[in-house]
Amino acid sequence: MSSPHSKSAAVAAALSALDEGSTPERTVFREAVRSLLAVLAERAPGRSVEVRVPPYGAIQCVPGPRHTRGNPPNVVEMAPETWLMVATGRIGWAEAVAEGRVQMSGVRADLSAYLPLELS
C-alpha cells in the first residue's frame, strides 16, 4: 500500500515527465491518476457521476441520485494526460471541455466546482 507522500511523488513525477514531453512510466502514471481520482472522490462524495480515465481508473462521485444499473446518465471521460492537467489546475475545466479533451454527458457532469484538486 502506498503512503500519501508517494502518491504526491507519483503526481509530481508524472507531471514532470509530461512537462518534458515524454510519457510517464506506466506504474507512475497509474498511481498519479488513481491518486487524483481518490482525492476527487473524497472532495465530492456521492455516486451520481462516473469519472473515467482509461486505462487507469474510474470512480463515482458528486452528490445526487445514485446510479445502479446500465450506463450511468452522468459520465465524464478523458485521457490520463488531460486528467492530470485538469486535476492539478494546469489547464482549466472549461478550456479542456472547449478543446474536446473531455467527453461528458448528463446534467451533473460539470466538475468545475471540484477542480483543481489539492493533494494533502
pLDDT at 111 over 80: yes
pTM of the model: 0.89
pLDDT at 4 over 60: no
Q: What is the pLDDT of residues 57-106, one digit of tens each?
A: 999 999 987 766 667 789 999 999 999 999 999 999 999 999 999 999 99
Tell me what the mean pLDDT of segment 7-18 comes to: 92
CA distances in angstroms from 17 to 8, 12, 58, 82, 83, listed in the order given = 14, 9, 23, 14, 15
pLDDT at 2: 42
Which residues touch 8 (CB under 8 Å, ≥6 apart)?
35, 119
Half-sphere exposure (Cβ direction) of 120: Cα atoms closer than 13 Å: 6
Q: What is the pLDDT of residues 29-42, one digit of tens each?
A: 999 999 999 999 99
pLDDT at 1: 36
The residue with greater pLDDT, 72 or 51, is 51
Half-sphere exposure (Cβ direction) of 19: Cα atoms closer than 13 Å: 7
pLDDT at 66: 72
